[in-house]
Amino acid sequence: MWQRNLLFIGLSIVGLIALGSRLLSNDPIETPVTFNASRYQQPEIRTVLDQVDREFETSWQEQGITSANSTDELVVARRLSLGLTGTIPSLEEIRVLQSLPEGQRIEWWISRLLEDRRCADYVAERLARSYVGTDNGPFIVYRRRRFVTWLSDQLLANKPYDQLVRELISDKGIWTNSPSVNFLTVTLDEDNKGKPDAIRLAGRTTRAFLGMRIDCLQCHDDNLGKMNLGTKDDSRGGLQSDFHHLAAFYGGVEFSLFGVTDSKHAYEYQYLHAEKPEIISPEPPFAVDLLPKEGTQREQLAAWVTHAQNKPFARAMVNRMWAMMFGKPLVEPIDDIPLYGDYPPGLETLADDFVKHDYDLHHLVRMIAGTKAFQLDSRADFEVTQQHEDAWAVFPLTRLRPEQMAGGVIQASSLTTIDANSHIISQLQRFIEQGQFIQRYGDTGEDEFADRAGTIAQRLLLMNGELVKDRTKPNPFLNATTRISVLAPTDEKAVETCYLTVLSRLPTAAEQAHFVKLLSGTEGDKRSECLEDLYWVLVNSTEFSWNH
């Protein structure tokens, strides 16, 4: 019996040593399939990125401001992870990044993220908020979860963005078997006699796909003349008729036993000061020559929206993806880009490149990540002002959104990656904890990229809430603090591991010395308590709760 017990103890020790070696050193994560170490040196890509960088540098010179230096590649990896997955890199992922040659890490990390279901799921949710909102809608004919899952599948497969949008606007069928039609069915209103709301759909179409707010024309003309829907050389204010001619493309949408179908039903509306409703023909509010003659009304609209010469379509996606990755859009508000005007540096060049590469979203992500602006430090050796942030001369500080805070805390508490390949229990726990945290912290809703201040309640939730408390208390199976306490060979290694896991960076010499001193000589429960305190301090630090 004693021999069996001794064997068990020996195997347990070997297991712990193996686990420690795996967690505190390089992890054998497979190289992403799409990784290309020389991608950013390819002439075609380098030419576009150099052009974007020159545009920003020219802007800085004209404003008489200096840009910050480039930041550390681990900081860039954290930005990418937060922007594309809503969480931070895991320790095992960071260890792999550290093992790669400088200059290859960003391309490797982007490739890994774009092949990761977490990225597709997260970006799908962000896009869905602009396409269908956050409400559950009419349950009988609308399935939001089904819609987001379908959207995630399209993004993971890197379906060209123009094809994806054409399907959203023009698809037919039942909302469960053809999930894209949920873009239409979410607007079903009893007051609209069982038909989708053409007015709401017109507003969604311009805001989500064209980055333009013309829904204010629903009730009256643009009497202030601020909206130019004419040609560049023949400007005019928007008219109420512009909006309703657009809404008329959705006038023939109906429901039947076969789901969403198209009919020849005409769109009617009573204009302001008119005596009675009138039949309104479908017509785009600008660039009428891009409208095809063939197809149903919705197919014509879809082709017009996504036409290669309809520049607002490409601009809108560049601006939205920029906002996801930076935390704020190039043009604010995100869905109010002028049809003509002086655009910020990079927007037109990236939009043209997006069209040239057949609306490849993965390519767009790589291009934004490769810009000098994205890789700048948020700090500088000069006084950083609002002008520097507005000009993208430093990386702009933005407060993490609720799902990013929750995702960061949950991942920071684990030394291994929590993703679609994790055990179902880990995934389920993450789902429940994240949902509960966001409910208490406050969901930002559809308008995710508007400036917002933190609240006392949010700060108290981080300091005293269940998520941080449960994720830092002793638990050898789930929490990083306990594992680090047991497995870290030295105090220095323990502090380093904590910093990498929570803040995605190495501690400074001063930070290392300070916390090593506190850990020195501690053992057992006392050592675990010290590491729990360190984790709590790092999670509640300003550095953790901001994207920088």
So what's the pLDDT on residue 516? 93
pLDDT classification of 241: cutoffs 50, 70, 90:
confident
CA 78, 44, 348, 207 dihedral sign is negative
pLDDT classification of 426: cutoffs 50, 70, 90:
confident
CA 138, 140, 142, 147 dihedral sign is positive
For the residues of 312-377, what is the DSSP string, one character each? HHHHHHHHHHHHHHHSS-SSSSTT---SSS-PPTTHHHHHHHHHHTTT-HHHHHHHHHHSTTTTB-
User: pLDDT tens for residues 264-276?
Assistant: 888 888 877 778 8
pLDDT classification of 436: cutoffs 50, 70, 90:
confident
In order of 57, 301, 431, 484, the CA distances from 10 in angstroms are 62, 70, 37, 21
Helix (H, G, I), strand (E, B) or coil at 82: helix
Relative to beta strand 278-280, strand 546-547 is unpaired
So what's the pLDDT on residue 168? 97
Q: Which residues contact 145 (CB under 8 A, 6 or more apart)?
A: none
Per-residue pLDDT, averaged over 111-129, amounts to 96
So what's the pLDDT on residue 203? 93
Report the share of the chain in percent with pLDDT over 90: 57
User: pLDDT tens for residues 321-368?
Assistant: 999 999 999 999 999 999 888 899 999 999 999 999 999 999 999 999
* 182 pLDDT more than 60: yes
Taking the C-alpha atoms of 141, 146, 152 and 154 in order, what is their torsion angle to the nearest 10 degrees? -60
Rounded Cα gap, residues 298 and 300, in angstroms:
5
Per-residue pLDDT, averaged over 101-105, amounts to 92
Q: Which residues contact 370 (CB under 8 A, 6 or more apart)?
A: 40, 45, 49, 106
So what's the pLDDT on residue 275? 80
- Its pTM surpasses 0.75: yes
- Residue 396: cis peptide before it, omega within 30 degrees of 0: no
* 291 pLDDT more than 90: yes
User: pLDDT tens for residues 18-72?
Assistant: 444 444 444 468 899 999 999 999 999 999 999 999 999 999 999 999 999 999 9
Q: Which residue has the higher pLDDT, 164 or 20?
A: 164
CA 253, 256, 260, 264 dihedral sign is negative
Q: Which residue has the higher pLDDT, 281 or 219?
A: 281
Q: Which residues contact 501 (CB under 8 A, 6 or more apart)?
A: 90, 91, 94, 412, 415, 480, 484
* 220 pLDDT more than 80: no
Domains in the chain: boundaries: 118-305, 397-548
Rounded Cα gap, residues 166 and 188, in angstroms:
20
Q: What is the biggest distance separating any 2 CA atoms in the chain, rounded to whole angstroms?
A: 98
So what's the pLDDT on residue 25? 41
Per-residue pLDDT, averaged over 495-515, amounts to 95
Residue with tokens 């347990």, as numbered in its chain: 12
